[in-house]
């Protein structure tokens, strides 16, 4: 058992141990949230340290693995992509915990559950991103997804939240089933469930060649569901509108990171020989997601629904990179990093504006926000500009990266579609800014001045600085991704 390389899963280990501690401590002692904060803070620091350890040991892990960077009986792969995916997940976890604090405060006793679910979801998606075996990927996917289903209803306050959680659970389970069926068919077709099952594939199949195509389609569809790509997106708006405000940003972001990294591996490693088949299909799904997400986002009256639809469009933008193939991997990771930070921030601000356990966040609540809470308005404005891909924000660099890669690979039409949609998308991103800066508040909200708690304030400030900094000078992050990934 020489390949039990613990540092290959160090961050997940810390997160799981931390979850256990919180659960025990929380259930037995029922401590006030304040003392829990110490444990959570220490745990997050430990997770970061574990990640740092992993990064510094990256070369050792690669050398010690039985095959390249594989560990745990070829279940877990430790490569740059996995390390960066963990980094992104930890960033959004840290931001999300800071932004969710008012909600945790409000739900009292259940705050321990919420925290545990967030940590377990993170660990699950980390494993999904690091899975070298599709059964492992399924376990990671399910640990992550099931935690999110429960998290959706953690505030347990409104019927909308129940509906959201139920819908998410039913459709999510269905997608997971599709995914595992795909794994089974891959096994039927190749005799392996390893991520590189078809690496030495000779072309002789056990059942029939069609099986492999079906397995590919099912694996891809299962993951596309999780990342809210059209036409597998229908659940997203209801879920993101209805779920507990404090954690919905985390829910949306974590699933996207894990899902996209898994997708990149599935199409880029498992089915790389079928690139000629999946490339046009993914390009079409990308175009559909972009167009549908953008068009539907235009007509929303609720900020969180709008974010959900814009998330569908963003899934499309990232798919543009996935369709471009391997050369876009760094651009995809950069895009995921900056977009998910913006996503968590935007939902976090929505939770501050509409209340930490609210279901929904109507646009009218944002009217005149700039005069009531200048800090929040500036934060949200920057986030919206970042999401829209406005130059000087990191969103632009992300888009530039994936579009450039797609253009190089001959997907010119897709780039044009994506760019036209980006312009249309300005309309709904700017709408929030219009409401905040250019309209007067409604009468009932005119003297409401929502203010974030200290932790939330810091999180928003960090997100804004990161968004602008990596927009003006993206090299540090791009270089980190490149050095680690290659």
Partner 1 sequence: MDFPMLSLLILVPVIAAAVVMLLPKERTELHLPVALVLSLLPVGLGGVLFARFESVAGFQFVEQAPLIERWGVSWHLGIDGVALPLILLTTILIPISIAASTSIAKNAQLFLVMVLMLEAGLIGVFSALDLIVFFVFFEAILIPMYFIIGIWGSENRIYAAIKFFLYTAFGSALMLVGIIALSVMQQNKTGVSSFDYTVLLGLEIPPATQAWLFAVFGIAFAIKVPMFPFHTWLPDAHVQAPTAGSVLLAGVMLKLGTYGFLRFNLPLFPDAAVRFAPVVATLAVIGIVYGAAVAIVQTDLKKLVAYSSVSHLGFIMLGIVALTQNGLDGGVIQMVNHGLTTGALFLLVGMLYERRHTKLIADFGGLQKTMPIFAGVFLFSTFASIGLPGLNGFVGEFLVLIGSYATLPGFAVVATAGVVLAAVYLLWAYERVFTGVADKPENQDVPDLNLRETLIFVPIIALTLVLGLYPKVLLNRIEPSTAGIIDRIEATTDYVEPTFVIGEPSE
Residues found near partner 1 in the complex (CB under 8 A):
371, 385, 390-392, 396-397, 400-401, 403-404, 407-408, 412, 415-416, 419-420, 422-423, 426-427, 430, 434, 437-439, 473-475, 478, 482
Residue 437 CB, shortest distance to partner 1, in Å, is: 6
Q: How far is the CB of 431 from partner 1 (least distance, A)?
A: 8
- Rank residues 128 and 436 by Cβ distance to partner 1 and give the closer one: 436
Minimum distance of partner 1 from residue 419's CB (angstroms): 4
**Residue with Cβ nearer partner 1 (192 or 371):** 371
Distance between CA 47 and CA 417 in Å, rounded?
40
**DSSP codes joined into one string, 331-370:** HHHHHHHHHHHHHHHHHHHHHHHH-TT-S--BGGGGTTHH
Characterise 78 by phi-psi region: left (phi > 0), alpha (psi -120 to 50), beta (else): beta
Phi/psi for 302 (5° steps) reads -115, 130
Which tokens go with 409? 């690979």
By beta-carbon proximity to partner 1, the closer residue of 177 and 416 is: 416
Please say which residue, 25 or 426, places its beta carbon nearer to partner 1: 426
Residue 71 parent element (H or E): strand 70-71
- Which residues have C-beta within 8 Å of that of residue 199, sequence separation ≥ 6? 269
Nearer to partner 1, 412 or 442 (CB): 412
CB of 367 to partner 1, least distance (A): 12
Give the nearer residue to partner 1 in terms of CB position, either 289 or 382.
382
Residues with Cβ within 8 Å of 299's Cβ and at least 6 positions away in sequence, in order, are none
Task: Give the chain's radius of gyration (CA, Å).
Answer: 21
15: Cβ–Cβ under 8 A, 6 or more apart, which residues? 43, 47, 119, 120, 122, 123, 126
Least Å distance, CB 427 to partner 1, is: 7
Residue 194 near residue 131, CB atoms below 8 Å:
no
Shortest distance (Å) from residue 322 CB to partner 1: 18
Closest approach of partner 1 to the CB of residue 484, in Å = 14
Which residues 6+ apart lie within 8 Å of 188 measured at CB? 206, 207, 211, 215
For partner 1, the closer CB: 310 or 358: 310
The helix-helix angle for 10-29 and 33-56 (nearest 10°) equals: 170
| 439 vs 457, beta carbon nearer partner 1 | 439
Beta carbon of residue 387, minimum distance to partner 1 (angstroms, whole number): 14
For residue 399, give the nearest of 464, 326, 331, 342 by alpha carbon: 331
CB of 360: closest distance to partner 1 in angstroms? 24
Based on CB atoms, which residue is closest to partner 1, 84 or 227? 84
Contact 329/401 with Cβ under 8 angstroms?
no
**Shortest distance, position 421 Cβ to partner 1, whole Å:** 9
Instruction: Reduce the DSSP state of residue 77 to 3 states and report it.
Output: strand
The residue to which tokens 């003392």 are assigned:
35
321 with 328: CB under 8 angstroms? yes
* Residue environment code for 408-441, b if the CB has 16+ CB neighbours within 10 A, otherwise e: ebebeebbebbeebbeebeebbbbbbebbbeeeb
Residue 198 DSSP SS3: coil
Cα 48 from Cα 11, distance rounded (Å): 7
* Residue number with CB closer to partner 1 (56 or 475): 475
Report, in Å, the least distance between residue 423 CB and partner 1: 5
Long-range contacts of 413-416 (CB under 8 A, 24+ apart): 414/283, 414/286, 414/287, 414/320, 414/323, 415/320
Q: Pick between residue 234 and residue 430 the one whose CB is nearest to partner 1.
A: 430
Shortest spacing between CB 396 and partner 1, in angstroms: 7
CA–chain centroid gap for 427, Å, is 24
Pick the closer one to partner 1 by CB: 355 or 474.
Answer: 474
We find the least distance from the C-beta atom of residue 321 to partner 1, in angstroms, to be 13
Q: Tell me whether residue 155 or residue 477 sits nearer to partner 1 (CB atom).
A: 477
């Amino acid at each position: 058992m020489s390949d039990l390389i613990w540092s290959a899963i160090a961050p997940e280990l810390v997160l799981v141990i931390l979850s256990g501690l919180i659960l025990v401590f929380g259930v037995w002692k029922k401590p006030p949230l304040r003392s829990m904060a110490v444990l959570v803070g220490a745990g997050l620091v430990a997770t970061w340290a574990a990640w740092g350890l992993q990064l510094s040991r990256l070369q050792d892990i690669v050398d010690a693995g039985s095959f390249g960077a594989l560990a745990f009986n070829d279940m877990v792969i430790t490569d740059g992509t996995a390390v960066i995916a963990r980094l992104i997940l930890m960033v959004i976890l840290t931001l999300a915990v800071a932004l969710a604090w008012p909600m945790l405060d409000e739900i009292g006793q259940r705050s321990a559950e919420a925290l545990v679910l967030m940590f377990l979801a993170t660990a699950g998606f980390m494993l999904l991103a690091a899975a070298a075996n599709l059964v492992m990927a399924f376990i990671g996917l399910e640990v992550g997804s099931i935690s999110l289903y429960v998290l959706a209803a953690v505030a347990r306050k409104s019927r909308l939240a129940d509906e959201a959680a139920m819908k998410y659970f039913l459709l999510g389970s269905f997608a997971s089933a599709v995914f595992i069926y795909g794994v089974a068919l891959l096994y039927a077709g190749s005799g392996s469930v390893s991520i590189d099952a078809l690496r030495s594939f000779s072309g002789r199949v056990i059942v029939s060649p069609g099986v492999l195509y079906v397995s590919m389609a099912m694996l891809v569809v299962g993951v596309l569901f999780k990342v809210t790509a059209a036409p597998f997106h229908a659940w997203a708006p209801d879920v993101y509108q209805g779920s507990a405000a404090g954690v919905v940003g985390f829910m949306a972001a974590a699933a996207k990171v894990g899902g996209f990294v898994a997708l990149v591996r599935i199409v880029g490693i498992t089915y790389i020989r079928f690139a000629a088949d999946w490339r046009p299909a993914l390009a079409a799904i990308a175009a559909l997601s972009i167009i549908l997400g953008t068009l539907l986002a235009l007509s929303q009256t609720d900020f969180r629904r709008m974010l959900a639809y814009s998330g569908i469009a963003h899934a499309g933008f990232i798919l543009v990179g996935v369709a471009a193939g391997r050369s876009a991997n760094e651009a995809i990771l950069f895009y995921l990093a900056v977009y998910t930070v913006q996503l968590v921030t935007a939902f976090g601000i929505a939770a501050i504006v509409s209340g930490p356990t609210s279901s929904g966040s109507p646009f009218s609540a944002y009217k005149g926000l700039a005069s009531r809470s200048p800090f929040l308005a500036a934060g949200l404005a920057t986030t919206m500009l970042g999401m829209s891909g406005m130059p000087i924000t990191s969103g632009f660099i992300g888009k530039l990266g994936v579009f450039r890669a797609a253009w190089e690979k001959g997907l010119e039409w897709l780039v044009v579609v994506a760019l036209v949609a980006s312009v249309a998308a300005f309309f709904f991103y700017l709408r929030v800014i219009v409401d905040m800066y250019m309209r007067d508040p409604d009468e009932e909200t005119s003297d409401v001045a929502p203010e974030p708690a200290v932790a939330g304030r810091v999180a928003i400030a960090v997100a804004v600085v990161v968004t602008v900094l990596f927009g003006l000078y993206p090299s540090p992050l791009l270089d980190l991704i490149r050095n680690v990934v290659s």
